[in-house]
């Protein structure tokens, strides 16, 4: 809000400079979290040693490198259990052995994540809160870390963790009834996932603290590598992805290959933020109305619909226009075993460079009866409330 | 109320502005950005004279506009909108997704 006094103007100018600096800091950390550069291994290892030193710990005796977060979790599990894994994990075991770390012959020691990661974060947060006050800290967090947190934790690290965990859970259920020994490796890898440190994905919160002395080690690793693990005697570090594809909301999204892809071949296929299997991903370019209609999994059908294009589906499936008004056109088509697909076709009010007007489709609840009510719903308003004076 | 693509700006009475609002964070070009496209980099941006973008301290995503001079809303793909003095609330467009509701980004 506007400032009246001279000193108020000076403090407003100072706050203005601060705001720009904080916004730059947030953007810089977001870029760090999205980096697809090969790891700066020397930089990351130096960061690990600083992080241990700040925690009052001797440096780890061994620092090992693996190609992806999934390989990291399984590699840690191999070292923890001594299990060598099956054929599909062979590349991980070989990578460990090439670094002189044979499963069963290297002692990890206890996890030091609470000392290396959790405590410094809490310390940095307490220091900043003491300096800025509660509201000041909230403002600082909003200016620096809100977007990195949303983009990195919500859109990347959480889906990634969920997918790796689901893969491991799938392996366990596939082995149900077999010996405990066979289940030991995926079980230990699931536990390792809980112990991972975010590396570049820690940029989500480091954005608020930048190079605060307490988090210096973590910040250096975050600027140099992907997920990592900290144990008394061993640190396991992993590479950053080689590709990250996101949509306009920052959700993982790619129609031609994995949306997130690591140098050891591990990848995550996703469409509009929804993780999909490689098999479904391969099918997407060849979909038909019949194939989509026959898909039993409702979530997959939605992915297929989006990829196929709502407008094309409506056209090719004989959907009916149920109503038109000045807000657009309402379409409806029944889906077997699912609620009806009701879409409002909206005319964009600004012309494209060639003078035509682009239309776009938004899905609305099946209870919607008019295009106006549909558009109003997309803005959380009733049909009566929605009266735009101007649209562009 | 005014619609610019996926953003709706709804006039409200000044008394309807929640208590304790702060200036919402700006981007690194010091712009007041109502909504940003992560992939395109396109943004709904407020400029003007004595125009502020405000939010509750604990909810930086909930945006209000307070225009005391004049305001102008611009976007790379949409025509500009002039905002008269007054208070406004910003609503992002969403779409229905069985079991969930998702925001829209144009």
Please report residues of B whose CB lies closer than 8 A to that of A350. 5, 77-79
**B58–A380 C-beta distance less than 8 A:** no
pLDDT tens readout for residues A18-49 = 888 999 999 999 999 999 999 999 999 999 99
- In the A/B pair of chains, how many CB contacts fall below 8 A? 121
Structure confidence at residue A180 (pLDDT):
65
Please count the CA atoms within 13 angstroms of the CA of A226 that sit on its side-chain side.
30
For residue A8, what are the contacts with CB-CB under 8 A and spacing of at least 6?
none
* Contact status of B28 with chain A (Cβ, < 8 Å): yes
pLDDT digits (tens, 9 = 90+) for B13-40: 999 999 999 999 999 899 999 999 998 8
Measured between beta carbons, the chain A residues lying within 8 angstroms of B91 are 379-381
Q: What pLDDT shows up at residue A246?
A: 95
Q: DSSP label at B14?
A: G
Rounded to whole angstroms, how far apart are CA atoms A216 and A163? 30
CA nearest to B67 within chain A = A1
- Output the six-digit token pair for A161: 């963790």
B58 touches chain A (CB under 8 A): yes
Answer yes or no: is pLDDT of B62 > 50: yes
Average pLDDT value for chain A = 91
Nearest to B25 by CA among A96, A12, A49, A19: A19
Q: How is residue B94 written in tokens?
A: 């969403």
The label of the residue with tokens 């031609």 reads A256
Q: What is the pLDDT of residues A152-191, one digit of tens each?
A: 999 999 999 999 999 999 988 887 766 666 789 999 999 9
Are the C-beta atoms of residues A329 and A371 closer than 8 Å to each other?
A: yes
pLDDT(A1) > 80 = no
pLDDT attached to residue A7? 55
Dihedral sign, CA of A350, A353, A355, A361?
negative
- Best A351, A353, A379 member to test B by mutation, with max B CBs in 10 Å, is A379
Q: What is the pLDDT of residue A2?
A: 44
> Which residue among B10, B25, B93 places its CB closest to the CB of A142?
B25
State residue A177's pLDDT score.
67
Q: Looking at the complex, does the CB of residue B74 fall below 8 Å from at least one CB of chain A?
A: no
Residues of A with CB below 8 A from B81's CB?
Answer: 390, 392
3-state secondary structure of A379: coil
Segment A234-253 shows an average pLDDT of: 95
With beta carbons under 8 A apart, name residues in chain A contacting B106. Answer: 248, 360
Q: Above 90 in pLDDT, residue A275?
A: no
Q: Which residues of chain B does A302 touch, with a Cβ-Cβ cutoff of 8 Å?
A: 97-98
- Does position A90 have pLDDT exceeding 90, yes or no? yes
The Cα A208–Cα B70 span in angstroms is 33
* Tokens matching residue A327: 């807000």
pLDDT of A285 above 90: no
Tell me which range, A10-24, A343-357, B62-76, is most confidently predicted by mean pLDDT.
Answer: B62-76
Q: What is the pLDDT of residue A179?
A: 65
The answer to whether residue B6 scores a pLDDT higher than 80 is yes
Please choose, from the candidates A110, A362, A24, the residue with its C-alpha nearest in 3D space to the C-alpha of residue B102: A362
Q: Quote the crossing angle between the two packed helices A158-174 and A69-81, to the nearest 10°.
A: 50
Pairwise CB contact (< 8 Å): A392 & B98: no
pLDDT class of B99 with cuts at 50, 70, 90: low
Per cent of chain A over pLDDT 70 is 95
CB environment A34-70: b (16+ within 10 A), e (fewer): bbeeebbeeebbebbbbbbebbeeeebebbbbbbbbb
Taking alpha carbons only, the member of A33, A268, A36 closest to residue A165 is A268
């Amino acid at each position: 809000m506007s400032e009246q006094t001279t000193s108020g103007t000076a403090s407003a100018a100072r706050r203005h400079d601060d705001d720009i600096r904080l916004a730059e800091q947030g953007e810089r950390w977001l870029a760090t979290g999205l980096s697809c550069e090969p790891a700066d291994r020397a930089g990351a290892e130096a960061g690990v040693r600083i992080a241990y030193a700040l925690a009052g710990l001797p440096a780890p005796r061994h620092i090992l490198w693996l190609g992806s977060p999934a390989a990291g979790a399984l590699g840690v599990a191999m070292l923890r259990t001594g299990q060598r894994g099956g054929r599909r994990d062979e590349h991980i075991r070989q990578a460990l052995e090439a670094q002189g770390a044979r499963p069963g012959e290297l002692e990890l020691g206890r996890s030091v994540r609470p000392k290396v990661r959790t405590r410094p974060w809490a310390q940095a947060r307490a220091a900043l809160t003491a300096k800025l006050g509660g509201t000041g800290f909230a403002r600082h967090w909003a200016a620096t870390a809100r977007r990195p947190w949303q983009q990195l934790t919500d859109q990347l690290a959480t889906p990634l963790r969920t997918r790796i965990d689901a893969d491991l859970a799938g392996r366990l259920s596939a082995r149900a009834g077999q010996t405990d020994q066979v289940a030991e490796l995926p079980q230990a890898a699931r536990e390792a996932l809980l112990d991972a440190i975010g590396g570049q994905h820690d940029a989500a919160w480091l954005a608020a603290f930048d190079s605060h002395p307490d988090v210096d080690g973590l910040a250096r690793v975050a600027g140099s590598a992907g997920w990592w693990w900290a144990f008394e005697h061993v640190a396991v570090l992993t590479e950053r992805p080689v590709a990250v594809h996101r949509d306009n909301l920052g959700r993982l999204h790619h129609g031609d290959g994995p949306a997130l892809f690591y140098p050891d071949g591990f990848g995550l296929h996703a469409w509009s933020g929804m993780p999909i299997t490689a098999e479904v991903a391969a099918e997407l370019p060849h979909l038909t109305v019949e194939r989509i209609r026959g898909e039993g999994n409702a979530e997959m059908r939605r992915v297929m619909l989006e990829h196929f294009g709502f407008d094309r589906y409506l056209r090719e499936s004989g959907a009916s226009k149920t109503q038109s008004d000045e807000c657009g056109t309402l379409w409806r088509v029944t889906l077997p075993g699912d609620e009806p697909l009701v879409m409002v076709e909206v005319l964009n009010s600004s012309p494209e460079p060639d003078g035509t007007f682009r239309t776009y489709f938004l899905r609305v609840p099946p209870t919607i009866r008019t295009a106006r009510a549909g558009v109003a719903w997309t803005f959380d308003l009733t049909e009566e409330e929605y009266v735009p004076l101007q649209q562009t | 109320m005014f619609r610019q693509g996926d953003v709706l700006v709804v006039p409200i009475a000044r008394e309807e502005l929640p208590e304790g609002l702060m200036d919402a964070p700006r981007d690194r070009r010091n712009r007041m950005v109502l909504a940003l496209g992560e992939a395109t980099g396109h943004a709904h941006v407020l400029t003007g004279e004595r125009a502020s973008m405000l939010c509750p301290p604990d909810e930086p995503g909930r945006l209000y506009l307070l225009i005391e001079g004049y305001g102008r809303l611009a976007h790379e793909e949409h025509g500009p909108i002039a905002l008269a003095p007054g208070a406004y609330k910003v609503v992002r467009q969403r779409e229905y997704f069985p079991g969930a509701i998702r925001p829209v980004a144009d």
